Structure 1
Amino acid sequence: MPPRPRTDRPTLSRERIVAEAVALADADGLGALSMRALAGRLGVEAMSLYHHVPNKDALLDAMVDAVFAELHTPVVGGAWRQELRARSVSGRAALLRHRWAIGLMDARRSPGPAAVAHHDAVIGCLRAQGFSLAAVGHVFALVDAHLYGFMVQELSLPFAGQEELAQLEAEIIDEAVAATYPHFTEFARDHTMRPGWSFGAEFEVTLDLVLGAVEGLAPAAPDAPAGPAVPPPVTVDVPVLGVDGCPAGWVGALLEPGAPRPRVVVASTIAELVETVREVADVRVVGIDIPIGLPDSTTRAADALARRALPGKASSVFTTLTREAYGAPDRAAADTVNRALSGQGVGAQAFALRAKILEVDAWVRSRPTVEVLEVHPEVCFARMSGAPLRPNKKTDEGRRARLDALAAAGIARPSVLEGRGYAADDVLDACAVAWTTARHAAGGSERLPDPPEVFSDGIPAAIHV
């Protein structure tokens, strides 16, 4: 009788064993993990596993190391706030996938190569920004306490979703409780029970509060070499347009020779805005606060250089995603694509501007009959003032600081500051962009980088200032 044909099984390897162990723990919890159960899933004898992992303790070390490999690895030389934020956001996502790992991440006596490399990158990122060794220790304790503490609480909640929360609230808060504990009742009924609330949504909000506390540990900016001298007030020789995004679409600040102040124009699309302005002024140069020139598989030098020009405010410059990531239908899909191409996760701001970025990209690639510049308002304000403006642009103090900076730079208070679908900070950002655009038209602007990078789209990628 001929021998029965064999069904080839995948070769047993350490990587396959660890991956299957992680899958088993994900599905059934760490209590279900045993060498015998794992061997059964793999279709081998338990003794076969010991050729690749010496014991269960070593297996746990390898499983934890696999989870560390899923966290964002901070870039040494990158903006510390952005890098730590991406690390925590990716950490929460990983721990939601691997709930068994909470409590084990920094508890292993024999950390694997991914864990050591991850910690080395965090330390390197902070040290490159001038944090002392003691400050690095404080940052680790604070940021990790937020990540792991939040995850313990999130995964321990006795409800899943607002429907179960409503049922729990009805069980806990009766008339007597409401009368005795009014603050607890108000918080439950007027906050956590409002449509759209979820405990998980608190993660990034509280993370930003933690990173704000870390700011206090950051080293003071050095006194030495000052940046470039503050430019003289700009002279407007030809009409130029500065543009910023706003809820209504786009708001423009039009500067014209001899005009006493910027004229504010609003339109729903960038093409409509430029055409409307060109009906009244012969604008040849348009500056826009939006990334122009999308990378294929890397980050952009323009973003890194802009962050370097904003000490203490580098987080106001987000990392532009790859072109393929901007084509993804949602943030989760974009994150998967971007990590595979550039190794970077997808920040909320970078993806929230997706529609406007793609709109401007399509418009620029249609070859409009104007020169189009990418400009970042915070870099403009820092250049015209000699240092980044510290007050938040959405506050009264921030608005006054920006009006003063513009006035000193030769840009008078605009004709209007706010209206339907646009706010004062949108208008002032557009004015700052117009300032750089006027400098460019006069031959006095700078580029970050110079020369610009050029990706497969053929569009020069540089932030003008």
Structure 2
Amino acid sequence: MPSARPPLSADRVVAEAVALADESGLAALSMRALAARLGVEAMSLYHHVAGKEALLDAMVDAVFAEIHLPVSGEDWRRELRERSVSGRAALARHRWAVGLMDSRRRPGPATLAHHDAVIGCLRAGGFALPATGTAVALLDAHLYGFMLQELALPFDGGDDLAALGAEVLGPEVRAAYPHFTAFAERHALRPGYAFGDEFEVGLDLLLGAVEGLRATASTARLEVTVPVLGVDGCPGGWVGALLVPGAPRPRVVVAPTIGELVEAVRTEVAVEVVGIDIPIGLPDIGIRQADVLARRELPGRASSVFTTLTRPAYLAGSRVEADAVNRGLSGQGVGSQAFALRAKILEVDAWLRSRPTVDVVEVHPEVSFAVMAGTVLPRKRTDEGRAARLEALAAAGIARPSVLEGRGYAADDVLDACAVAWSAHRRATRVGRSMPDPPEVFSDGIRAAIHV
């Protein structure tokens, strides 16, 4: 007995339509031809697809489903490279699809998931919305444009190309078009040349150029869309700069402990991210990558980033004891300024271990100001440094706080808190980046990274 045909379904209809288009081209696809291929009456197809346009929508969606879905939060360049390479492979399998990929008025779930993942990957990689739009346009133009050209070439491989070259490069062409002739003879017609090899070369160049869009993303003016809190240590305890949608300027808040400060703010405002200028995540041995990478962001001012001590060193009772412990675990001594931060570091560490129900990240204000302004700023305790920080904040969309100094805190503390709030907002809106990415995790289980 002949084997029974599998039951008709929307998935089977679409799969056979894709196979028919792959074999014979899109011009050969009709509802009647597809029904004949399936061994059914044409009218029975309409129980599974609404018509030819709906079928094309589903076929394009099936092709998108074959393309790598970029993972948000992973290395954006690697993810988008894989997306383009797998996209080229999918379009080579389905030559009919190149001109249809972004033409459908009713995109399917795989199409929408693909675009959402590409945008999400760029946003998580630190691209502002306008830069994301430009990056997507460039990447799509490279993928679809290259495939249109590659699939239209009048030769399949080296032998075809050599025959075409011999036909085209007659005496008149050689005499009239010397540059074309030299390119063909010295490059394109040489053994081993394949036009398709240019795809990944061009892709890597393009991704390098797209990196420039990411680098300029930080210059966009901040529009406060979610409430965040930036915190800096001060002689009186902790000073915070609160950014709230609709508020004309940062609100300054002061408290003796980090827990009291955050709790006081959260009784009034549901802040989404708290950024703190203090090391978060203490190494058991060695040096944190966060500190190494932050120094690279501050050429000429790397000394403003103190090396975070090991956890055992912070638990030591004196600087002399801490110095001996730290030298044994990381090879680094302990200076008086670094040890002076011990009490505040341990305070934040204990508070984090109490598991506060808010996203808390480490921010270094000098790095934030450098990224914000596009250059390393003068020292903060000088008149020039204070003016440069106020100017950078204003250019970034953060107005001068109504209060710059008060009992227990100075102007540089408030300005640092504002810069931390700027990075906290970038974290909340997923346009910032972390150093390293992904963060390190030590035995304390806390993610260690500086966010900007």
- Paired residue for 2:410? 423
1:372 equivalenced with 2:360 (yes/no): yes
Which residue number corresponds to residue 353 of structure 1?
A: 341
Q: Which residues of structure 1 form unaligned runs of 5+? A: 1-224
Q: 1:308 aligns with which of 274, 296, 317?
A: 296
Query: Quick check: 1:235–1:438 contact (8 Å CA) kept in 2?
Result: no
Distance in 2 between the 1:236 and 1:295 partners?
Answer: 34
Cα shift at 1:228: 2.0
Deviation at 1:349, TM superposition (A): 1.9
Match of 2:215, SS state, is coil
State whether residues 298 and 322 of structure 1, in contact with CA within 8 Å, keep that contact through their aligned partners in structure 2: yes
Aligned-partner SS, 1:452: strand
Amino acid across the alignment from 2:451: H
Structure 2 SS opposite 1:427: helix
Q: CA deviation at 1:359?
A: 0.2
What does residue range 21-420 of structure 1 map to in structure 2 within 5 Å? 228-229=215-216, 230-389=218-377, 391-420=378-407
Shift of 1:263: 0.1
In 1, Cα distance between equivalents of 2:429 and 2:272: 12
Report what 1:213 is aligned to: none
**What amino acid maps onto 1:348 in structure 2?**
S
Match of 1:462 among 446, 449, 452: 449
**Distance of 2:429 and 2:221 partners within structure 1:** 12
Offset at residue 395 of structure 1 (A): 1.6
Q: Which residue of 2 aligns with 1:450?
A: 437
Tell me how far apart the structure 1 counterparts of residues 387 and 332 of structure 2 sit (CA, whole Å): 36
Deviations 1:314-338 (A, max 9, x none): 0000100000000011111000000
Q: Aligned with 2:231: secondary structure? A: strand
What is the alpha-carbon distance in structure 1 between the residues aligned to residue 389 and residue 397 of structure 2?
Answer: 12
Q: Which amino acid aligns with 1:285?
A: V
Q: 1:378: how far off?
A: 0.2
Letter in 2 for 1:424: A
Structure index of larger Rg: 2
CA distances 1:204-242 after superposition (whole Å, capped 9, x unpaired): xxxxxxxxxxxxxxxxxxxxx989224301121111000
CA distance in 1 between counterparts of 2:281 and 2:258 reads 16
1:167 match: none
What is the one-letter code of the residue matched to 2:402?
Answer: S
* Counterpart residue type for residue 308 of structure 2: T
SS across alignment from 1:242: strand
Once the two structures are TM-superposed, the CA of residue 285 in structure 1 deviates from its matched residue by: 0.9
Shift of 1:372: 0.2
Separation in structure 1 between the aligned mates of residue 403 and residue 276 of structure 2, nearest angstrom: 19
SS of the residue corresponding to residue 439 of structure 1 reads helix
Q: What percent of counterpart residues are identical?
A: 74
Task: Name the CA distance, whole Å, in 2 between partners of 1:309 and 1:261.
Answer: 28
**In the TM superposition, what is the alpha-carbon distance from 1:413 to its structure 2 partner?**
0.3
- Compute the displacement of 1:382 (Å): 0.3
Alpha-carbon displacement from aligned partner over 1:73-124 (angstroms, at most 9, x marks no partner): xxxxxxxxxxxxxxxxxxxxxxxxxxxxxxxxxxxxxxxxxxxxxxxxxxxx
- CA displacement at 1:284 relative to structure 2: 2.2
Secondary structure, aligned partner of 1:250: strand
Aligned-partner SS, 2:241? strand
**Among residues 437, 448, 454, which one is paired with 2:424 in the alignment?**
437
The one-letter code sitting in structure 1 at the alignment partner of 2:231 is: V
1:240-273 C-alpha deviation (Å, 9 max, x unpaired)? 0000000000000000000000000000000000
Q: How big is the shift at 1:311?
A: 0.2
Displacement after TM superposition at 1:392 (Å): 1.7
User: Deviations 1:12-38 (Å, cap 9, x if unpaired)?
Assistant: xxxxxxxxxxxxxxxxxxxxxxxxxxx
Task: Output the CA distance in 2 between the equivalents of 1:398 and 1:387.
Answer: 12
* Distance in 1 of aligned mates of 2:325 and 2:238: 29
**1:340-361 CA distances to partner (integer Å, 9 max, x unpaired)?**
1111111222110000000000
Q: Secondary structure at the match of 2:240?
A: strand
Which amino acid in structure 2 is aligned with residue 380 of structure 1? S
TM score, norm. by length of structure 1: 0.51
SS of 2:440's partner is strand
Q: In structure 2, how many angstroms separate the alpha carbons of the residues matched to 1:350 and 1:455?
A: 20
**Alignment partners' CA distance in 2, 1:364 and 1:417:** 28
Deviation of the 1:457 alpha carbon: 0.4
Distance 2:305 2:292 in 1: 8
Deviation at 1:280, TM superposition (A): 1.5
Note the aligned Cα RMSD (angstroms): 1.3
- C-alpha separation in 1, matches of 2:380 and 2:404: 13
- What secondary structure sits across from 1:245 in the alignment? strand
**Gap runs ≥5 in structure 2:** 1-210
Letter of the 1:422 counterpart: Y
In 1: Cα distance, 2:423 partner to 2:336 partner = 27
Q: Secondary structure at the match of 1:432?
A: helix
Task: Write the deviation string for residues 341-393 of structure 1: whole angstroms up to 9, x where unpaired.
Answer: 1111112221100000000000011100111000000000000011110x221
Question: 2:274 & 2:414 partners in 1: Cα distance?
Answer: 15
Contact 1:241 1:286 in 2 (8 A): yes
